[in-house]
Structure 1
Amino acid sequence: MSDIAELIVAALADHGVTQVWGVVGDALNPITDAIRRRDGIEWIGVRHEEAAAFAAGAQAQMTGRIGVCMGTVGPGSIHLLNGLYDAKKSHAPVLAICGQVPTPDIGSDFFQEVNNDVLFADVADFAQTITSPGQLPQLLEQAVNIAYAEQGVAVLTLPGDVGSLEVEDDRPPKFAPQSAEVAAPANQVAAAADVLNAADKVTLLVGCGAAQDRAEVLSLAERLKAPMVLTLKAKAGLDADNPYQIGQSGLIGNPSTKKAFDDCDVLFLIGTDFPYRDWYPQGKTVIALNSRAGHIGRRTPVDHALVGHAGPTLRALNQSLSTKESDKHLRAATDAYAKWLEDQARLTDPGHDRKWLGKLRSKADNPDERIRPEVVADALNRHASDDAVFTSDTGMSTVWLSRFVQMRGDRKLVGSYNLGSMANAMPQALGIQALDRKRQVIANCGDGGLMMLLGDLRTAVTYRLPVTFVVYDNGRLGMVKLEQEQGGLPEFGTELDNPDIAEVAAALGLRALQVSRAEDVDSAIQEALAHDGPFLLDFLTNPDEIALPPKATPSQAWGFAIAKSKEFLESR
């Protein structure tokens, strides 16, 4: 007969959970002791519970299997919230095991007591407190099954006097299998086929819901002669060797995507919940294919809905489509994309600022001769392995990665692309690296994000997680700076008084190198990727590198000019 803690740990280990992330203490001591005594499951003690939740969520995104994190009584559980919200919005199944004060003290405003069931009510699809051994194993089964069914967060709270109680029903918990993928109903497919066959120019906006259905998506684009705009989360499956894709839309996008949207008659949304309403074209016939009916129509009006999974639905749809003869719409978009890529490629040359045009430009936007971030991202693209996993902090780190790192081979990409949190890249990389310590994992960190959870760099050392941390150290909250300037405001409150981040990392036990010259970027990245252990590269990058939207509006352009003039008058 086992106790509650032993039953939970054994069930998770048998299910394939290989790590549990958190900070030890109090009510969780029976759980961590059960992990200590159980083969095949590893305890990873982080310095901050937020890092634990990010790591568990990243593991769930990579594997589709449940990730597990823990936070003890009161503050420890509260610290999980940001990472759990990221899992919720990323549709990643995560189980959080949280501590609670002993049952006789619940409701007495005891030291560190918080009401977990209320605290996690918004972030979790399931949140319950274990108060009796008779609730097991059913309550654990319900938590895990709901996390899978809703692709979200489940929270089990364990009071301090409960974890060591013996369970009378000692049967092994059994978790329900995931549901099969199904096609949209035949009448919906037929209606969409009629619209697409009659359309002159179709543009696709493809999201992560179709990223694993590459063959079907490419076949659709070929039949329709349709340019394909990819959301950031779809890059990993559809970016490389795809003659139809033209990059991203939104603030990280490029002019060709706007052209493809503006010129089309029909916009076909596939497996996406792209949130930015201002970037959708107006006056188009819109078709939306999504397995989640609640996601259809909440960003832009939809004329024809297909409720089903992308793969089987597109297989059925492709059989009903005739192949269009003219590729004029496709060529116009892909030619514009190729031209934009050519223009961007000039900035990836380490010697750009020494050439006459570069010298002229650098006087205005890089007077301190710092490394252009495009150089760093391009070098990563060239030197990283074809099965590397990239994480990126929200903000400018994501901009450079999205534009210059191609998801070729079996490369993967994970970030806080729905919640948009800071400080996610480093802990997500830790979680992914723990799944496979031999796979190349590269965290693209902003200096602001890294400094938020700096202590967990040491976790990489403690648990021998050989992540390469690439820091775009521009001394700024770069995206906020850009937002202010586009709004016509002078930069304020975004400057970061950073220490020597490489020296800090070295003091924490990592190999580290600060790089200040563009000519040294390649060799530094090669050295870091070859090192068998965690390595931090602190690249001193240009804070004034401009990443304007694909087609800046007059107000945005005028706002940027006004902001720059104010900065000049006030600070130079």
Structure 2
Amino acid sequence: MADRTVADLVVDRLRAWRVPRAFGYPGEAIAPLVEALDAAGGDPEFVPARHEETASFMATGHAKFTGGIGVCLATQGPSAVHLLNGLYDAKLDSKPVVAIVGEDVTGPLGGAHEEIGLGRLFGDVCNQFVRYGRAPGQVVALLDQAFRTAAATRSPTCVVLPRELQGTAVPDLQPQAAGVLTATPGEPLARVLPHDADLDAAASLLTVGQRVAILVGQGARGAEDEVVALADRLGAGVATSLLGKPVLDERLPFHTGVLGEAGTTAAAQLMGGADTLLLVGTNDPWTDYFPMAGQTRTVQIDIDGRRIGTRYPVDVPLVGDAAETLRALLTRVHDQPNRQWRATVEGSVDRWRQESIARAGAPAQPVNPQLVLHELSHRLPRRGAIAVDVGSVIYWYARHLELPPGVNAQLCGTLGSMGCALPYALAAKFAHPDQPVLALLGDGAMQLNGLAELITVAQRWHEWADPRLVVLVLNNRDQSGMGGGRQVTDPTHRRPDVPYAGWARLLGLHGVRVDRPDLVGAAWDEALAADRPCVLEAVVDPEVPLRPPEPALADLRGVFADGDAARRVRERMLATRMTVEAEDLV
């Protein structure tokens, strides 16, 4: 029997932490660990990516879609540098990821091939924990600390393991030996609840509010029922951040949609008319669309007290788990909804839904990208996952794709890095191979790394119980990267056209190309019914405007003391089809 090595200890520890797979790009400095993973029989498995950046996006996507800890592997030098994008995505969106980096420096320090100071390289993105393994007896405890820190701080961590150490044979380590630490794997996260006095203060503030708005972020996952119950009790309207879009059923009549530049008119109007604001698990950066400071009294719930009050002034901070905190509030808030305010919100939602249909149906050359997402909306499978890339596709996703319960959607929300969707989709598919997955991206993201990662799809799809992984490519050939009404007249600003659907067919996948609006629905039907992964290439008009909503009615504070100003606001209400009577907004 061959001697066990440190690499085998690492595999054992990944298994103890219930890590199902590690994503990475093989290299000499990480080779002993990759070989140990290959010998592990798939528990955990090693998933080779086409690039280290996509491997780190896969690890972050795993954390986002599963709630577990993602793991990525790389070697020193440029390989390690390429991990940074996905790790910063994890850091900014508060997801636990552990990066294990191999190092092979045998020459004099400062002159070795591919040598980079890894501690300094990862010192910011993994600022909670970056450590080097120096001796076999340290490795188990080192990994446990990395995993426990990632889970507790919801952030990426890094462990650097020299190649020589990975291949070192290890005897049965004695806990009493000098330098040998033992630890128990697990994530004993604390139960966090606000103090009763703070809950009482929050309940009093919410109860006296006449026009309550609730902004829901990703931190409200698992608290859907409590959010809806509180909204009904207060007669509140609800909006979400981009990251919070999958939390609630978007078919609710008082759900105004996504707030912000990519969001809806109804959500902007909700914030403009509110006098009381409840923030639940959100760190939304689009503060231009929040009510004016002083317009509302505000309660904020967040598990991380460092985030409270960083985006908007807060009267009552509540540090705690969203679901438990909301349940505690429900025992203190009386059932006295403002029916008139709720009716106003629902009327605004109805008007926005009609407007979104009209926008999707507007003529374009050749296809309106809003139509592509609108046609998908009522064809969405009732379960599965959606990965969304960066670019104009975010606008169409936020406004035109109505998410039902049971469909998880994720995007690179805070970092905003292009090229995340296909790695995310692969992570979601590996986690749930029996469920359909969609990736929504533009041609820029597809050329950035999507074309390469389709090779991974082609290599692995035969293992999936449900073969459906549909990759939508909005092909607008716009080199500016955003489209949205920019007139592209210079041919050098046109992105080179690539036969995306043809590339998929060349790899043995299914490919559909659509350039007529009347065939968009049929193209979706074909893609979703295919017996293998499919690339749906939609040739869309880059000149369709993004049309960010105006921060509607956000200047109402104090305006009604001036009769002329009141008249101007009434005219503005009519222009935006907001039917709230001026005296009801004072």
- Once the two structures are superposed, the pairs formed by residues 102-501 of structure 1 within 5 Å of their partners are 102=105, 104-105=106-107, 107-124=109-126, 125-168=128-171, 169=173, 174-282=184-292, 283=294, 284-348=296-360, 352=361, 362=363, 366=364, 369-453=365-449, 454-464=451-461, 466=467, 467-476=469-478, 480-482=482-484, 495-501=494-500
Separation in 1, partners of 2:280, 2:30: 43
Separation in 2, partners of 1:117, 1:496: 38
**Of 89, 93, 104, which aligns to 1:90?**
93
Deviation at 1:109, TM superposition (A): 2.2
Separation in 1, partners of 2:174, 2:47: 27
CA contact (8 A) 2:233 2:336 kept: yes
Separation in 2, partners of 1:189, 1:204: 16
Deviation at 1:495, TM superposition (A): 3.1
Separation in 2, partners of 1:442, 1:480: 21
Q: Which amino acid aligns with 1:504?
A: W
Q: Which amino acid aligns with 2:18?
A: G
Separation in 2, partners of 1:167, 1:388: 43
- Once the two structures are superposed, the pairs formed by residues 544-555 of structure 1 within 5 Å of their partners are 544-551=543-550
Give the SS at the match of 1:204.
strand
Deviation at 1:160, TM superposition (A): 2.1
Separation in 2, partners of 1:234, 1:432: 18
Separation in 2, partners of 1:72, 1:331: 58
Give the SS at the match of 1:51.
helix
Cα 1:538–1:65 change in 2 (3 A) is same
Cα 1:537–1:7 change in 2 (3 A) is same
Separation in 1, partners of 2:36, 2:485: 49
Separation in 1, partners of 2:519, 2:10: 50
Gap regions ≥5 residues in structure 2: 176-181, 553-586
Separation in 1, partners of 2:146, 2:493: 41
Give the SS at the match of 1:463.
helix
Deviation at 1:456, TM superposition (A): 1.3
CA contact (8 A) 1:249 1:550 kept: no
Separation in 1, partners of 2:485, 2:147: 40
Q: Which amino acid aligns with 2:136?
A: P
The residue aligned with 1:52 is 55
CA contact (8 A) 2:236 2:337 kept: no
Separation in 1, partners of 2:537, 2:130: 41
Deviations 1:370-423 (A, max 9, x none): 111122112222222110211111121121122222221310001101111101
Give the SS at the match of 1:44.
strand
Q: Which moved more, 1:319-328 or 1:58-67?
A: 319-328
Cα 1:404–1:484 change in 2 (3 A) is closer
The residue aligned with 1:562 is none
Cα 1:106–1:435 change in 2 (3 A) is farther
Separation in 2, partners of 1:476, 1:51: 23
Is 2:549 the partner of 1:537?
no
Q: Which amino acid aligns with 1:96?
A: A
CA contact (8 A) 1:480 1:494 kept: no
Gap regions ≥5 residues in structure 1: 353-357, 554-572
Deviations 1:72-118 (A, max 9, x none): 1211111111011111112111111112123x436232001111111
Aligned-pair identity in percent equals: 30
The residue aligned with 1:563 is none
Is 2:95 the partner of 1:80?
no
Q: Which moved more, 1:452-461 or 1:159-168?
A: 159-168
Cα 1:157–1:492 change in 2 (3 A) is farther
Cα 1:392–1:514 change in 2 (3 A) is same
Separation in 2, partners of 1:285, 1:175: 43
The residue aligned with 1:35 is 37
Separation in 2, partners of 1:326, 1:57: 42
Q: Which amino acid aligns with 1:55?
A: M
Q: Which moved more, 1:219-228 or 1:393-402?
A: 393-402
CA contact (8 A) 2:17 2:186 kept: no
Give the SS at the match of 1:267.
strand
Give the SS at the match of 2:166.
coil
Separation in 2, partners of 1:211, 1:252: 21
Q: Which moved more, 1:455-464 or 1:237-246?
A: 237-246
CA contact (8 A) 2:501 2:535 kept: yes
The number of aligned residues is 534
Q: Which amino acid aligns with 2:114?
A: Q
Deviations 1:230-275 (A, max 9, x none): 1122222213443321101111112222221121111111111111
TM-score by length of 2: 0.87
Q: Which moved more, 1:329-338 or 1:503-512?
A: 503-512
Separation in 1, partners of 2:473, 2:334: 49
Deviations 1:19-76 (A, max 9, x none): 2211112111101110111122222111111110111111111222111111112111
Q: Which amino acid aligns with 1:461?
A: A
CA contact (8 A) 1:397 1:444 kept: yes
Deviation at 1:281, TM superposition (A): 1.1
Deviations 1:517-543 (A, max 9, x none): 122222222222222322111100111
CA contact (8 A) 1:22 1:69 kept: yes
The residue aligned with 2:14 is 12
The RMSD of aligned alpha carbons is 2.3
Separation in 2, partners of 1:307, 1:97: 32
Give the SS at the match of 1:551.
coil
Separation in 2, partners of 1:383, 1:265: 38
Cα 1:106–1:49 change in 2 (3 A) is farther
Deviations 1:184-215 (A, max 9, x none): 11111111111112222211111111131011
Separation in 2, partners of 1:482, 1:379: 19
Q: Which amino acid aligns with 2:62?
A: Q
CA contact (8 A) 1:237 1:407 kept: no
Deviation at 1:173, TM superposition (A): 5.9
CA contact (8 A) 1:126 1:154 kept: yes
CA contact (8 A) 2:250 2:257 kept: no
Cα 1:178–1:484 change in 2 (3 A) is farther
CA contact (8 A) 1:184 1:307 kept: yes
Deviations 1:331-368 (A, max 9, x none): 212211211111211344xxx4xxxxx5xxx4xxx3xx
Deviations 1:285-331 (A, max 9, x none): 22211111111111111122111111111111111112224321222
Name whichever structure is richer in helix by fraction: 1
Give the SS at the match of 1:156.
strand
Cα 1:232–1:122 change in 2 (3 A) is same
Separation in 1, partners of 2:412, 2:212: 30
**Of 20, 23, 37, which aligns to 1:21?**
23
Cα 1:373–1:417 change in 2 (3 A) is same
Deviation at 1:13, TM superposition (A): 2.4
Q: Which moved more, 1:15-24 or 1:82-91?
A: 15-24
Q: Which amino acid aligns with 2:238?
A: M
CA contact (8 A) 1:133 1:165 kept: yes
Deviation at 1:151, TM superposition (A): 0.9
The residue aligned with 1:503 is 502
Cα 1:287–1:493 change in 2 (3 A) is farther
Separation in 2, partners of 1:391, 1:132: 40
Cα 1:543–1:5 change in 2 (3 A) is same
